[in-house]
Amino acid sequence: MSDRIADIYGTRTPHARGTAWPARVDQYLDPGIDDADVDTWVQSACLLCSNGCGVDIAVKDGRMVGVRGRASDVVNHGRLGPKGLYGSTGWANAADRLTRPLVRAGGRLVETDWETAMGRIVERSKQLLDEKGPLSHGFYTSGQLFLEEYYTLAVIGKAGLGTPHMDGNTRLCTATSAAAFKESFGADGQPGSYTDIEHCDAVFLYGHNMPETQTVLWARILDRTRGADPPRIVCVDPRRTLVAMEAERTGGVHLAPRVGTNLALMNGLTRELFEHDWVDEAWVAQHTLGVDDLREVVSPYTPEHVAEICGVPADDVRRAARIFGESEAVLSTVLQGFYQSHQATAASVAVHNLHLLRGMIGRPGAGILQMNGQPTAQNNRECGADGDLPGFRNWDNPAHVQELADAWDIDPMTIPHWAPPTHAMQIFSYAETGSIELLWISATNPAVSMPESARIRRILGGDQCFVVVQDLFLTETAELADVVLPAAGWGEKTGCFTNVNRTVHLSEKAVDPPGEARSDLDIFLMYADAMGFTNESGDPLIGWRSPEEAFEAWAAITRGRPVDYTGLSYAKLRGPTGIPWPVNEEHPQGTDRLYADAVFPTDTDYCETFGHDLVTGGTVTETEHRAMNPAGRAFLKGAPYTPAHELPSDDYPLLYTTGRTVYHFHTRTKTGRSRDLNDAAPDAWVELSQADADERGITEGDWVRVESPRGAIEVRARVGNVMTGAVFAPFHYGHWEPETAPDSGADQPEGHRDASHRLANELTMTVWDPVSKQPTFKTAACQVTRTRDGDGPAPAPTTADSVTPTSSRREVRATAGGSPTSSRVLPDVPHYPLDPAQGGR
């Protein structure tokens, strides 16, 4: 295997349209370990992005020492990317793992035992229930727990406590995906499949920087674009990303709309389909509702009008629309560039509209992938730990509530369903004002990841709310908690998770967790036991003790719902590959893509939502929904473009946007503890255009102050790769850095750095999309000023989208399969070597 820090996507294995993606097993073992040293390989799937690549974990002497891809897995055919290879296991043995519970005493967190820590939580919880009721409790969870843990937490929250205040960090990442599905198709659920890559003749990537976010999926696309009969690529992104370069190379189009104008562009593309009769009228008449309203909404968006709003050439709008209109099978993928914007759901629904207008759904190649960012975000949404009801049930449908009450043997009035579930942004507002007085945060780091960080620090660190954090490390969030619970991580516990295209994997326990750390499931069970939650029969509310029992309880409750797990079991998941739901008697081997029959879950009695107005977020009532008689037809919904909440001004003339980059995942809790990954991207930076840099006297590597009305950061500048007027910042960096970890082997600087110096969310806003409630990380006004000279290029990688004409190759340390002191040089991209068997190097 090549050095996968320098060669992110591995060697190319081109293949023709309609042929299988070749398998190749990628593997990493810690330096000094080879195959013969491995005691055992344990089945799992990678937990470092939403792709969900099948892996086996290498175990030696009770420690995780590496991973290899599973060649038989439908998701990755053995491939792994840099994060999966170098970031999956190293964190587990870090000396700064939490191994004992901590409680705050005298203003400090001090070690204690489980009984004391849980006792404090239960005492506060019971007191609040007695005095203030269940609305005093809030839960903020993750996209990285297991299905069994989410479901258990959901039952505790909805049936034990009765609080609607439960959400996940999926609100920051994938809420729009779920919301868009519900609006168009009646329920959450990914229509498409990764196998659509093998069959499509065009790929549209909307705000989806796949080369940085899902590297293995991008490798799968590259193997098509390098093969016979390649698809054309269309890229919608304000940066000239690798996707944009591939669009140029394949005869596609790079559309670079001004930040915050996605919906205007989408309306323009939709109008072109109508104008050129690229609409399957018969299919639309039979399988959709709302075409006339949609035609009217998009009618003002001529290519020239779109050009004015978006700054995109009118002819490029025409070219992109023609590719969509004349292709036989388009695969569309969507991610945060659309989701984290002020009209997120409307823009994402517009992608569905394009497919529906062409009748292009449910057949090979004609896929929609509303992507997730996190590996288990899908489970959070399915199980109801994001506040929704489990099994894609509708909180506004009494029959759905009754189904759950029957299954849990409780009074249906205990289940909060008098109003929509509380979204994360509102949960933090309630915690800020003291309405929520107990906030329990599991496996996420909002002190770094939530918008307007200074406010989040004030909320978490204030006296108005008792904060519980369960995590692997003393994160920036855990440092502010009242009680910290040490959790077992991936490979240290058993459970299932479902990737972005509905593929369910079983992840088996490979090693014991360190010290007294416990699985998140065991922690939730401990709380439920201590609280004494019971059902109507007087039995314990939570009737399971093990992950497998929890899975079986979950599967049972999905019967008859779109997300049907009833045909799955741990035994079945121990087979060669993950399996995409629904899996049931009708589909015992799973379902590669949904809606092959063009029947959508929109029936009023079956759907997950009655829908919303895409402009205001106002809810559609059951009566209104029933009057439309959707009866299995999909909704075509449109909305006019409106400007973003915060536009450039004299004081803040640039638009600030944030995003994920290739070597790190979220707030680096795991990837920052991989020396390979961290050395490749060790510190924060911002990217600005050459013109904006020249205007401010900024050159590559200079230190700059980036300021918005809410805060400022000071980082080094990468010059060249964003459109003029835009500033891009990676969101990964808080104040923790590996040099402060006791086992780093590096010189130990004194203490932690100031949290605000490089934290991208110091600048972002507390505003959200009206339907999905996803915060708008992609638009804020800012100013950039030069503060001092740098000492070389910015610490940005040169291997992916941060490469610029002015960046230079950077030498970093390497440990992968070699000496810990060796070094590698990051190449300038694009760097797509061919597999030797295909005639390459």
- CA distances 494 to 369, 684, 785, Å, are 28, 34, 49
Counting contacts by CB under 6 A, is residue 52 touching ligand SF4? yes
Structure tokens at 774: 């996803």
Whose Cβ is closer to ligand SF4: residue 55's or residue 273's?
Answer: 55
Whose Cβ is closer to ligand SF4: residue 135's or residue 217's?
Answer: 217
Q: Taking contact as CB under 6 A, which single stretch among the options 43-51, 226-234, 475-483, 677-685 is the one that binds ligand SF4?
A: 43-51
Q: How far apart are CA 630 and CA 634, in angstroms?
A: 7
Counting contacts by CB under 6 A, is residue 84 touching ligand SF4? yes
Whose Cβ is closer to ligand SF4: residue 213's or residue 658's?
Answer: 213
Structure tokens at 365: 């190649």
Q: Please confirm whether the linkage preceding 486 is cis (ω < 30° from 0).
A: no
Give which of 622, 606, 603, 628 is closest to 289, Cα–Cα: 628
Residues 656 and 648: beta-carbon distance below 8 Å: no
Counting contacts by CB under 6 A, is residue 660 touching ligand SF4? no
From candidates 64, 74, 80, 550, binder to ligand SF4 by CB under 6 A: 80
We find the least distance from the C-beta atom of residue 596 to ligand SF4, in angstroms, to be 26
We find the least distance from the C-beta atom of residue 665 to ligand SF4, in angstroms, to be 7
Annotate each residue in 722-751 with x if it binds ligand SF4 (CB under 6 A) or - if it does not, as one string: ------------------------------
Q: Taking contact as CB under 6 A, which single stretch among the options 51-59, 281-289, 712-720, 738-746 is the one that binds ligand SF4?
A: 51-59
We find the least distance from the C-beta atom of residue 501 to ligand SF4, in angstroms, to be 12
We find the least distance from the C-beta atom of residue 81 to ligand SF4, in angstroms, to be 3
We find the least distance from the C-beta atom of residue 78 to ligand SF4, in angstroms, to be 11
Annotate each residue in 163-192 with x if it binds ligand SF4 (CB under 6 A) or - if it does not, as one string: ------------------------------
End-to-end CA distance of the chain: 12
Whose Cβ is closer to ligand SF4: residue 52's or residue 189's?
Answer: 52
Counting contacts by CB under 6 A, is residue 53 touching ligand SF4? yes
Pairing of strands 503-507, 438-442: unpaired
Q: How far apart are CA 434 and CA 598, in angstroms?
A: 48
From candidates 12, 77, 83, 124, binder to ligand SF4 by CB under 6 A: 83
Q: How far apart are CA 523 and CA 529, in angstroms?
A: 10
Residue whose pair of structure tokens reads 């995409």 in the numeric block: 580
We find the least distance from the C-beta atom of residue 45 to ligand SF4, in angstroms, to be 7
Counting contacts by CB under 6 A, is residue 332 touching ligand SF4? no
Encoded amino acid at 135, one letter: L
Structure tokens at 692: 């904006």
Q: Taking contact as CB under 6 A, which single stretch among the options 211-219, 272-280, 562-570, 733-741 is the one that binds ligand SF4?
A: 211-219
Q: How far apart are CA 717 and CA 686, in angstroms?
A: 5
Whose Cβ is closer to ligand SF4: residue 262's or residue 671's?
Answer: 671
Counting contacts by CB under 6 A, is residue 578 touching ligand SF4? no
Counting contacts by CB under 6 A, is residue 577 touching ligand SF4? no
H/E element, 57:
strand 54-60
For 788, other C-beta atoms within 10 Å of its C-beta total: 11
Residues 385 and 313: beta-carbon distance below 8 Å: no
Residues 131 and 387: beta-carbon distance below 8 Å: no
User: In sequence order, what are the residues at sequence separation of 6 or more whose Cβ sits closer than 8 angstroms to the Cβ of residue 760?
Assistant: 658, 684, 713, 729, 730, 731, 733
Counting contacts by CB under 6 A, is residue 49 touching ligand SF4? yes
Output the residue with the shortest Cβ distance to ligand SF4.
Answer: 84
From candidates 66, 81, 268, 451, binder to ligand SF4 by CB under 6 A: 81
Structure tokens at 271: 């109008």
> 303-310 and 314-326 are packed helices; what angle lies between their axes, rounded to 10 degrees?
120
Encoded amino acid at 838, one letter: Q
For 205, other C-beta atoms within 10 Å of its C-beta total: 29
Counting contacts by CB under 6 A, is residue 51 touching ligand SF4? yes
Q: Taking contact as CB under 6 A, which single stretch among the options 42-50, 106-114, 183-191, 320-328 is the one that binds ligand SF4?
A: 42-50
Counting contacts by CB under 6 A, is residue 157 touching ligand SF4? no
Whose Cβ is closer to ligand SF4: residue 499's or residue 657's?
Answer: 499
Residues 327 and 206: beta-carbon distance below 8 Å: no
Whose Cβ is closer to ligand SF4: residue 55's or residue 644's?
Answer: 55
Whose Cβ is closer to ligand SF4: residue 775's or residue 817's?
Answer: 817
Residues 622 and 646: beta-carbon distance below 8 Å: no
Q: Taking contact as CB under 6 A, which single stretch among the options 2-10, 208-216, 633-641, 793-801 is the one that binds ligand SF4?
A: 208-216
Q: Taking contact as CB under 6 A, which single stretch among the options 44-52, 503-511, 563-571, 718-726 is the one that binds ligand SF4?
A: 44-52
Q: How far apart are CA 723 and CA 718, in angstroms?
A: 13
We find the least distance from the C-beta atom of residue 425 to ligand SF4, in angstroms, to be 27
Q: Taking contact as CB under 6 A, which single stretch among the options 111-119, 193-201, 213-221, 565-573 is the one that binds ligand SF4?
A: 213-221
- Phi and psi (nearest 5°) for 12? -80, 145
String of DSSP letters for 736-756: --GGGSTTS-S---SSPPPGG
Whose Cβ is closer to ligand SF4: residue 83's or residue 633's?
Answer: 83
Whose Cβ is closer to ligand SF4: residue 52's or residue 157's?
Answer: 52
We find the least distance from the C-beta atom of residue 53 to ligand SF4, in angstroms, to be 3
We find the least distance from the C-beta atom of residue 696 to ligand SF4, in angstroms, to be 36
Residue whose pair of structure tokens reads 């489980």 in the numeric block: 114
User: In sequence order, what are the residues at sequence separation of 6 or more whose Cβ sits closer than 8 angstroms to the Cβ of residue 727?
Assistant: 654, 655, 656, 657, 686, 687, 688, 692, 706, 782, 784
User: In sequence order, what are the residues at sequence separation of 6 or more whose Cβ sits closer than 8 angstroms to the Cβ of residue 586?
Assistant: none
User: In sequence order, what are the residues at sequence separation of 6 or more whose Cβ sits closer than 8 angstroms to the Cβ of residue 743?
Assistant: 93, 94, 95, 96
Binding-residue total with ligand SF4 (CB under 6 A): 14
From candidates 46, 245, 488, 826, binder to ligand SF4 by CB under 6 A: 46
- Spell out the alpha helix ranges (H) of 587-637: 622-628
From candidates 214, 225, 558, 584, binder to ligand SF4 by CB under 6 A: 214
Whose Cβ is closer to ligand SF4: residue 51's or residue 674's?
Answer: 51
At residue 704, the 3 state secondary structure works out as strand
Whose Cβ is closer to ligand SF4: residue 49's or residue 636's?
Answer: 49
We find the least distance from the C-beta atom of residue 580 to ligand SF4, in angstroms, to be 16
We find the least distance from the C-beta atom of residue 215 to ligand SF4, in angstroms, to be 5
We find the least distance from the C-beta atom of residue 214 to ligand SF4, in angstroms, to be 5
Q: How far apart are CA 268 and CA 272, in angstroms?
A: 6
We find the least distance from the C-beta atom of residue 221 to ligand SF4, in angstroms, to be 12
We find the least distance from the C-beta atom of residue 54 to ligand SF4, in angstroms, to be 9
We find the least distance from the C-beta atom of residue 666 to ligand SF4, in angstroms, to be 11
H/E element, 460:
helix 453-461
Counting contacts by CB under 6 A, is residue 215 touching ligand SF4? yes
Q: How far apart are CA 674 and CA 685, in angstroms?
A: 19
Q: Taking contact as CB under 6 A, which single stretch among the options 80-88, 341-349, 549-557, 619-627 is the one that binds ligand SF4?
A: 80-88
Q: Strands (DSSP E) along 408-488, which ranges?
A: 438-442, 466-471, 483-486
Q: Taking contact as CB under 6 A, which single stretch among the options 185-193, 212-220, 238-246, 682-690 is the one that binds ligand SF4?
A: 212-220
String of b and e for 701-733 (b: at least 16 CB within 10 Å)? bbbbbbbbebbebbbbbbbbbbbebbbbbbbbb
From candidates 8, 29, 48, 265, binder to ligand SF4 by CB under 6 A: 48
Residues that bind ligand SF4 (CB under 6 A): 46, 48-49, 51-53, 76, 80-81, 83-84, 214-216
